[in-house]
Structures are given as C-alpha cells and as structure tokens.
Chain A
Amino acid sequence: MAKERRIILKHIDQPGYAPDIACYKKHGGYEELKKAIRMEPGKIVDEVKTSGLRGRGGAGFPCGVKWGFITPNNPKPVYLICNADESEPGTFKDRQIIYKDPHQLLEGMIISCFAVQAKLAYIYIRGEFPEGARILEKAIAEAQAAGFLGKNILGSGFDLETVVHRGAGAYICGEETGLIESLEGKRPYPRIKPPYFPVVLGLYQCPTVVNNVETLCNIKHIIAMGGAAYAKIGTPNNTGTRILCVSGHVNKPGYYEFEVGSLTLGELINDVCGGICGGRKLKAIIPGGSSAKVLRADERFKIKQKQPDGSMANRELGVLDIPLDFDTLAATGSMAGSGGIIVMDDSTDMVRALANINEFYAHESCGQCTPCREGSLWMKKITRRMLGGGGRKEDTSLLKNIADNIAGRTICAFGEACAWPTQSFVEKFRDEFEAKAAKN
C-alpha cells in the first residue's frame, strides 16, 4: 500500500514547527519565490500547465488552463483571489495550512500572482476562521517586512498587495462568483456564466483568477521540482498529492496527504484510518464533501480505465477498490470534490443522514434562483417530517423528483450540491426511505 506523501503538509504538525516567517525560512521557505521571480511569468504558467495540477477546491479544473485564459498585456488590472472559504461539510484541509503554515500559502500566492501579473490579491477567508485571519494578517506583515510582498518584491520591480477579507458565514461565498460579489460588498449571489467567467469578467469586471488554498500551495512545489517532475507524482491526468479529510465512523479520522490515485478507498479506511470503529460494518461513503453523491458499501462499478500503454480497458470495481483520483470517482457517478471523505457505518440511519445534509443546504441556499431556493427548503421539510414519523409512501419518489428538478437548472453548482445527496441517498437506500413511510 502507498505511504502518505506529505508535500503540502510536510512541516505541519511537526514538533516545534511554528507559523512564523523565521521558522518558515529556516525550513527553506521563500526559496521558490526567489527562483520564480527571476522567471518569465509565461514560463511559470507553462510549468503549471505541464504539471497537470487540477484545482483542489472541488471542481478539479486544470489550474494552468485557467491561468492561460488570462491574456498577457491585459488593459484591465488582473486580480488573484485565494478561496479560503472552506465550508463544505467534511472538509478541513485548508484550515491546517492557514493555521499552521500560512507562509506556504503566501509563497504560493505570490508566485501565482507574478505568473498572471496580478498586483492585488485577496484571501477570502470564511468568517468562522477569525484566528486564521489574524494568523494570515500577521504572516502578510512579516512577508512584507521581509520584502516578499509589497513594492518591488526582491528587487524584481514586481509589486503585490495582499488583503485578507473575512466572510460573514455564508457557504455560497465559496462559489467563486458569489465570492466575488461578496468581495465587491454585495450579497453573494453567484453570477450567470456566461458571461461572467471570473478569468474574463471577475472582480470589478476585471480578469480574476480564483484558486483554492491547497492549489496555490502546490504552485510553490511545482516551481521547486519543475512541472514535468510534479506531473510524475500521482497518476496521469490526476497529478500531485491531495489532502484527504476523513471523518465519520473510522478509528483514526483526520487529514492525510497522498499521491492522487495512489491508494484505494478501502486502503484509506481500513489501513490508514484503522477501520470502522466499534467493529461495525461499512455502510456508505461520501467521497468528496457532503455534496458528493453517496457510495453504498456493496456497490460495484464497471469503469473504463486508461492503461499504461494508452489502451482502454474495462474494470469492475467494488467501492473499496476505487482509487482516490478525480477521474475514477467521476466515473462512479460521484466526485473527488473537496477531498472530504465521510464514512458511515451500519448503525447510520440514512434518512437522518440525508435530513442533516438537507438542513445544511436549505440553510445555505442563497435564494437567488428558483429551483434551489424552493427545492432545497422543500426537501429539508420532507426529510425532517419523515424523521418525525410523518413519512408517506410518495415521499421517496417526490424527493427524487424535486432533486431532479433542481440539478442542472440553476445559476451555480449549488443546485447540484443540494440535489446530489438526495438523488443518491434515495436511489441507493430506497428501502430505508420507504420503511419510514411504511410505519404510517
């Protein structure tokens, strides 16, 4: 079985490792910035493209491709936003970086800003991380004093200002266009795409790169080892490492960093996390944050996989055989999402689990567009009623139909985020939902 490979988390949790700049520099910090700032910005973008790095926020979009949409010599200013609004239930990776190694994030950000020639960067941090915001502000002040931020960074002539902006407690601010609206001082109503793709019309209608905390940290390591070397980590099209956040009914929940695709769900749960607690049996896994479709323990998938020689082969996989990468999880109908893996054992009431998720999404729907606003609240009311003993025969198919009427019909991906749990829970645990009605 693959061992943990800590690149991002390398120093985090090491005894004596502190979030201050002296400690960071002692461990080789800001050396990659010194290297990158002497490179052609376009060369950095090329290295990131070569690395195959995919966004760690949830959608897994290739980072270099995103950057490539920023055209050089843009007449408008370019902005970079670090999305630190980590709020997907089951996800707690970015906060480790922010709290314990903020300079790694800053170094990655500064290099990224230089690459896309952004002179002003924001770190949009969720309101529930007040201490994280203070740590970042202190780190920014330290970096500024050390000449890594501000005017004429390391004598390169490149200027960069970085601002920490605290959210006010809305999940939707993690949606990049909602985040941008919020930064502009408005309600975080996600924008319609087209035309408002952030790289084209982002913050203040200017080209804007929005990247996740973990993604930006990776940039530092791509500079350190070169894009081609980075691309060898992980598996083709699923390069690098990923921080996996495991929660739920396992003996050793926590965050672990692995090469993408280097281990299976079974290895993660049984070997890394010490198996299901209390000797109970695995029932279900949500593999990518609470919005990802649930996987049932006994599900089997027929998946087309690219072989090392380039040919395609069909493979049949059980849930525990699924390698943790972007493409295989997508092929199972779920997603790698934010890396939040929620494990549920056979004591779990799946209706209760879904009711919990539905409460969250009904509470967090911004309310801008009809299907999500009305549908998320409706689904919540139904699952709550079912828990209270008021289940009806028709509720199961009604829930599924409501979710079907949301997914794919909304302004932003929140529609899917709130529909996928219901769609998958009802479909895969239909008997449990029907049992709630049978009592009546």
Chain B
Amino acid sequence: MIADAKSTSTPMVNLTINDRPLSVPQGTNLIEAAAKLGIHVPHYCYHPKLTVVGNCRMCLIEMGTPQIEPDKKSVLKPDGPPEITWMPRPQIACATLVSEGMAVRTHSKMVEECRKGVMEFLLINHPLDCPICDQAGECRLQEYSVDYGTGGSRFVERKVKRPKKVELGPRVTLDDERCILCSRCVRFCQEVAKDDVLGFTDRGGHTTLGCYPGKKLENNYSLNTVDICPVGALTSSDFRFQMRVWFLKEARSVCTSCATGCNITVGSREGVVYRYTPRQNDAVNSTWMCDAGRLNYAWINDPRRLTRPLKNGQSAEWSDALPDARHLLREAGMKGQLAIVASGRASTEELFLVRQMAALFPAAAVDIVGRTGGHDQILVSADKNPNTSGAKLLGLATGKLAEIKKGIESGRIKTLFVQGENLEKAGFEAGLLAKLDALVVLDILPSPTTQMATWVLPGAAHVEKNGTFINGRGRLQRFLPSFSVKGHAHEDWYILKELLPEAEHTQYHSFHSVFEAMVRETPALAGVAWEGVGDQGTPLDLKL
C-alpha cells in the first residue's frame, strides 16, 4: 500500500511567495508551497508521487534568501522586511525546498521569459497534431500554450522524426513524436510498478522512449503511465480514438473490481462509459489504479443489459412483478422455506435493505458469494468483492452458502432471492435451481441464474446510482451516478424496498432515506452523514 503520511512533528518554515507570506512544513518544495497559496507553477516532469528529476525546466522561478550580517542577523529594508539576495539564475521550483526567510517570484518577467522559452523548445519538434490527439483537451502542452505560447512559430527547419504507433505493451500505445521526455512513465515503472521496463535510447534531440529489448510494458499498472503522461505520447490502446475527452461527463466513483476500492473518475457520454481513470485518495490508492480494474467496465455498456422485468423469461410489467415477487418471498418466509443470496458487489444501502428483507420475512439463511483471486503488494486485493466489509458489517456474510445449497437439494429451501449473482459460478447448477418453487433474481445482465428465474428484476449498475462500499480496510466510500438507469430498469434500492412488506414502503422514499435508516440502525456508522463521507471516504471503526 502506498503511504503518504508526513510526520506531524515536522518543523514549519516561513517564506514569501510573490510577497505573500506563508508557513509550510520543512522539506516542502516550491511547487507544493505555491499551491498552498493557490499559485500554480507550471510543470511537466514533476509529479508529487515520483522522484524529482527537474528535466522539463518549465517550473523555473526566481528565488532569493535573506541577506545575513556577520552577526547572523538579517539585513532589513528601511520599511521593515529583510533585504533579499536574489539568485542571478532561475531555479527549478520542483527541486528547491523551502528555507527560512526565502523569497520566491513565480511570475516575474524573467520567469515568464523562461517559460516562453521552454514552451517554444517543447513545441518545435512536436507534431502539433492536436485535432487527432487523444490528449487534446487535457494536455499540458495545450494548457501552457495558452499562457506562454506564441501565435506563430520561429522554427523553419525539419522536425525530428520519431516512431509512431508503437505498441509498448498490450494496453499502451506510444506516439514518440509527441513525447517531451519528461520521464514520468520511466520513473513510475521503476518506483511504483517495480517493473523497470521503460527507458530512453539515442541522445539529445533524437532521444527515444522505448522498452528494454525483449521486454514489454505489460504490468498490471501500465495504464497509469497514460494518466501521468502530460502530453499525448502514451495513449490507452483501449481509449485511443474512441471519444474526444471534452465530451466526457465525469463522475466520482469507486472501482468495483476488488476490496481495495480505488477511487476513480468515470468518463461517460450519453449513457456509455468510455473510461475509468484513478482519482487521488492518499488513504486508498494514491493516484493509481490497476489495469484490470480500469478496463473492467465493458459490462456496463453490454447491449444485453436487462431493461424490463421478466416473468419466466417473458417481458412483464413492474406493476405485476413487484407484488408477485413480494408475495412469493413472504409466503416462503412464513414457511421457513426462504433463502437469500446477497452480493458483495452491492452497495451497503442495498445490503441494508436485503438484511431488512431477511429479518422481516424472515429468511432461513442468507449469505454472500465470496470471490477471491490473486493480489499484489501495490493495490490489488485478494478479495474481489468491493463490499465484503459492508456485507460483514450487516451480518450478511455468514458462510452459509453451502447450507443454502444443501437446503435446496433437500427441498427444505423452496424459494430463493438472488441479488446480482450468477449462481452457476458458485456451484448452483441449473438442475439444482430447477428444484426451487420460486427464484427471484435482481440483476442487470442475463446469466444462467436469470434464465432459471421466476422473476428477473432489472436493477442498475453502480455508475447509474448513488451508493457506498466499505473497502477491505474499513473505509466507507461513496460512488455517484454518471447517468440514469437503462430502459425500464430501476435503481436497486427502489426494487428492494418494494419487495419488503407494504408497511415498510413509505419510510424508504428515496435513496437518502435508506442511507439514513442504515446509519440509524448500524452502530458502527453512528454519526456518519452522506455529505460528510465526501469524495475521499471516511474510515470506520469496524471489528469484523
């Protein structure tokens, strides 16, 4: 796991930036210090999570230190502040650490000239192919061109030709002519992915990015290089040429592929998801996510998505589906013949309603389907459910799945409610499910389980609704909708509350009322508010 904790005992250092005083912890560099005042120092190669190399020269600033008398006292100006000895040369803000009494100018004439110079240098051999570049719209070259670019070019020579459309690995494609050689990707592979496969060959203006001979950029974190590439050199082979980024609607969400719960931004347009990108959360995923999680979104766009209730495979109306399914569940519950298979991929709020269902009908047994797989030392958890902790907190992860299976075999369980799971993968063969009197399935895609269902109730993907997951370290995290549910499907909380006994319906009049009821009735969530969870989540004191 990536830790960013800074010691709280770090001494503070006083300095001025553009004549504005501030105090920051010792060891802070000038890019971060200026950011505290809302001053952006332009940069390409600097990345807060990688070592500092200072190669782009975009963050040059003017820096000075107080004049010191032999008696170690500062020389003061007539009006009070200390006299500053300014360094004759510009310094790079990324590698310059704050010191007591330091003075910094981030936007002086000299600084602006430096930036204009660097911008011109970076663009002379750049292909300027913005109209067809995937980075367009989120490109640092474009952004800083607005501030420090010129209308025309003074360059009349031939540009350097470099490799185009290089498949560095299965998921990353390089356009080397766009590369500004900032080395972020190289450092990421060395320092974060621990897979030192990228490097530079050739020299000077002919320097070329590539993989070491015989190697590929194929580690499970390779797509982070695309995120941190400040220009359009490294592109995602998946996203390449798919959508102009300015058309993407962005929503804050959480990855669903494992219990780490990497914070993500979902990029979508008109109900279609185009990409996930990691969203910074230093308590969870720093600024990274794994490739497997990032590319696990195609199912949302699947044309086979369920958009209507189905009765025995035939299209039906909600007005029939909900009362009938409720009746089936209640009858079975009263006879002790009801079991529930909940899902570790459902939101905590949905699991709360499932727990209400299990208690009120009541269910003879309830459990979730566990899901495990490989893990690593970086982000990937062996628990492939995003919300096992939520299910555990609500008492739904009971380990009784085998018991439920046996119950069906023996005929003791006659009705089963399934939340978003394909039971075939959990060893529930079609023949077994055929023994049931009734099978009610809430899901978003057809599966062998929905094929056997008495009722299929179409729900919503996480990008179509609000909700929370509790990750493997007990952090409650929100996800927000990108767009609304497909066709006639409903958000799951609505379907679940409609399946409860009628007396319960009115108290759950909105998603937020479910959230609030869950908080009220769950001691571990005491004091938690939807707004308070925020975009970074909140740690819970769970004893799971």
A: residues with CB less than 8 A from B are 170, 187, 189, 192, 194-195, 362-371, 373-378, 381-382, 385, 392, 394, 398, 405, 408-411
In whole angstroms, what is the CA distance A364 to B113 when docked?
A: 26
Known contacts A369-B55, A409-B60, A411-B55; is A375 also within 8 Å of B121 by CB? yes
Contact with A along B513-530 (1 / 0, CB 8 A): 000000000000000000
Contact B157 A374 (CB under 8 A): no
Q: Considering the complex, which residues of chain B in the window 476-531 have a beta carbon less than 8 Å from any beta carbon of chain A?
A: none
Given contacts A370-B56, A378-B124, 19 further A-B contacts (CB under 8 A): A192-B53, A194-B95, A195-B95, A364-B203, A368-B55, A368-B181, A369-B54, A369-B57, A370-B121, A377-B204, A377-B205, A378-B121, A381-B157, A405-B117, A405-B121, A408-B89, A409-B57, A409-B89, A409-B117
Note all chain B residues with C-beta closer than 8 A to A411.
54-55
Contact B204 A376 (CB under 8 A): yes
Note all chain B residues with C-beta closer than 8 A to A364.
203-204
Chain B's interface size range is 35 or more
Note all chain A residues with C-beta closer than 8 A to B181.
367-368, 370, 373
Give 18 CB contacts A-B under 8 Å: A187-B199, A192-B53, A192-B92, A194-B95, A366-B203, A367-B200, A373-B181, A374-B121, A374-B205, A377-B125, A378-B124, A398-B154, A405-B117, A405-B121, A409-B60, A409-B114, A410-B57, A411-B55
Note all chain B residues with C-beta closer than 8 A to A371.
57, 117-118, 121
In whole angstroms, what is the CA distance A366 to B205 when docked?
A: 8
Note all chain B residues with C-beta closer than 8 A to A368.
53, 55, 181
Note all chain A residues with C-beta closer than 8 A to B67.
none
Contact with A along B91-112 (1 / 0, CB 8 A): 0100100000000000000000
Q: Considering the complex, which residues of chain B in the window 180-204 have a beta carbon less than 8 Å from any beta carbon of chain A?
A: 180-181, 199-200, 202-204
Contact B205 A370 (CB under 8 A): no
Partner of A192, one of B54, B60, B122: B54
Partner of A373, one of B89, B155, B204: B204
In whole angstroms, what is the CA distance A187 to B208 when docked?
A: 13
Known contacts A370-B57, A370-B121, A409-B60; is A192 also within 8 Å of B204 by CB? no
Contact A377 B160 (CB under 8 A): yes
At the interface, is chain B mostly helix, strand, loop or mixed?
A: loop
Distance between B196 CB and nearest chain A CB, rounded to angstroms: 11
Note all chain A residues with C-beta closer than 8 A to B57.
369-371, 409-410
Note all chain A residues with C-beta closer than 8 A to B206.
367
Distance between A13 CB and nearest chain B CB, rounded to angstroms: 36
Known contacts A187-B200, A362-B205, A364-B204; is A405 also within 8 Å of B95 by CB? no
Distance between A374 CB and nearest chain B CB, rounded to angstroms: 4
Distance between A252 CB and nearest chain B CB, rounded to angstroms: 36
Known contacts A370-B56, A409-B117; is A192 also within 8 Å of B203 by CB? no
In whole angstroms, what is the CA distance A368 to B92 when docked?
A: 15
Note all chain B residues with C-beta closer than 8 A to A381.
157-158
CB-CB nearest 8 A-B residue pairs: A405-B117, A377-B205, A374-B121, A367-B207, A365-B204, A381-B157, A192-B54, A367-B204
In whole angstroms, what is the CA distance A40 to B172 when docked?
A: 60
Note all chain A residues with C-beta closer than 8 A to B158.
381
In whole angstroms, what is the CA distance A392 to B203 when docked?
A: 29
B42: Cβ under 8 A from any A Cβ:
no
Known contacts A192-B95, A375-B121, A382-B157; is A367 also within 8 Å of B53 by CB? no
Contact A374 B207 (CB under 8 A): no
B250: Cβ under 8 A from any A Cβ:
no
Distance between A402 CB and nearest chain B CB, rounded to angstroms: 8
B52: Cβ under 8 A from any A Cβ:
yes
Note all chain B residues with C-beta closer than 8 A to A408.
88-90
Contact with A along B155-181 (1 / 0, CB 8 A): 111101000000000000000000011
In whole angstroms, what is the CA distance A394 to B156 when docked?
A: 11
In whole angstroms, what is the CA distance A369 to B60 when docked?
A: 12
Note all chain B residues with C-beta closer than 8 A to A192.
52-54, 92, 95
Known contacts A170-B203, A192-B53, A409-B90; is A370 also within 8 Å of B180 by CB? yes
Known contacts A405-B117, A409-B57; is A373 also within 8 Å of B207 by CB? yes
In whole angstroms, what is the CA distance A343 to B60 when docked?
A: 37
Note all chain A residues with C-beta closer than 8 A to B53.
192, 368
B120: Cβ under 8 A from any A Cβ:
yes
Distance between B500 CB and nearest chain A CB, rounded to angstroms: 64
Note all chain A residues with C-beta closer than 8 A to B204.
362-367, 373, 376-377
In whole angstroms, what is the CA distance A367 to B60 when docked?
A: 18
Partner of A369, one of B56, B120, B155: B56
Distance between B161 CB and nearest chain A CB, rounded to angstroms: 13
In whole angstroms, what is the CA distance A377 to B181 when docked?
A: 15
Nearest CB to that of B125 among chain A residues? A374
Note all chain B residues with C-beta closer than 8 A to A374.
121-122, 124-125, 205
Note all chain B residues with C-beta closer than 8 A to A377.
125, 160, 204-205
In whole angstroms, what is the CA distance A368 to B55 when docked?
A: 6
Q: Considering the complex, which residues of chain B in the window 111-139 have a beta carbon less than 8 Å from any beta carbon of chain A?
A: 113-114, 117-118, 120-122, 124-125
Distance between B252 CB and nearest chain A CB, rounded to angstroms: 34
Distance between B367 CB and nearest chain A CB, rounded to angstroms: 54
Distance between A291 CB and nearest chain B CB, rounded to angstroms: 16
In whole angstroms, what is the CA distance A367 to B181 when docked?
A: 8
Note all chain B residues with C-beta closer than 8 A to A365.
203-205
In whole angstroms, what is the CA distance A408 to B316 when docked?
A: 75
Note all chain A residues with C-beta closer than 8 A to B90.
408-409
Nearest CB to that of A171 among chain B residues? B203
Note all chain B residues with C-beta closer than 8 A to A373.
121, 181, 204-205, 207
In whole angstroms, what is the CA distance A366 to B156 when docked?
A: 23
In whole angstroms, what is the CA distance A334 to B483 when docked?
A: 67
In whole angstroms, what is the CA distance A392 to B155 when docked?
A: 12
Q: Which of A374, A376, A392 gathers most chain B CB within 10 Å?
A: A374
Distance between B465 CB and nearest chain A CB, rounded to angstroms: 46
Partner of A378, one of B89, B114, B155, B203: B155
Nearest CB to that of A382 among chain B residues? B157
Nearest CB to that of A362 among chain B residues? B204
Nearest CB to that of A398 among chain B residues? B154
Distance between B140 CB and nearest chain A CB, rounded to angstroms: 13
Note all chain B residues with C-beta closer than 8 A to A362.
204-205
In whole angstroms, what is the CA distance A367 to B202 when docked?
A: 9
Nearest CB to that of A369 among chain B residues? B55
Note all chain A residues with C-beta closer than 8 A to B203.
170, 363-367
Contact with A along B281-306 (1 / 0, CB 8 A): 00000000000000000000000000
Note all chain B residues with C-beta closer than 8 A to A398.
154
Distance between A84 CB and nearest chain B CB, rounded to angstroms: 21
Note all chain A residues with C-beta closer than 8 A to B160.
377
In whole angstroms, what is the CA distance A410 to B54 when docked?
A: 9
Note all chain B residues with C-beta closer than 8 A to A170.
203
In whole angstroms, what is the CA distance A381 to B89 when docked?
A: 27
Contact B154 A385 (CB under 8 A): no
Distance between B29 CB and nearest chain A CB, rounded to angstroms: 11
Distance between A115 CB and nearest chain B CB, rounded to angstroms: 31
Nearest CB to that of A363 among chain B residues? B204
Note all chain A residues with C-beta closer than 8 A to B156.
392
Note all chain B residues with C-beta closer than 8 A to A392.
156
In whole angstroms, what is the CA distance A375 to B121 when docked?
A: 7
Distance between B210 CB and nearest chain A CB, rounded to angstroms: 13
Note all chain B residues with C-beta closer than 8 A to A410.
57
Note all chain B residues with C-beta closer than 8 A to A187.
199-200
Distance between A236 CB and nearest chain B CB, rounded to angstroms: 25
Nearest CB to that of A418 among chain B residues? B204
In whole angstroms, what is the CA distance A409 to B111 when docked?
A: 11
Nearest CB to that of A366 among chain B residues? B203
Distance between A388 CB and nearest chain B CB, rounded to angstroms: 12
Note all chain B residues with C-beta closer than 8 A to A194.
95
Note all chain B residues with C-beta closer than 8 A to A378.
121, 124, 155, 157
In whole angstroms, what is the CA distance A107 to B84 when docked?
A: 47
Note all chain B residues with C-beta closer than 8 A to A367.
181, 200, 202-207
In whole angstroms, what is the CA distance A375 to B204 when docked?
A: 10
Distance between B96 CB and nearest chain A CB, rounded to angstroms: 8
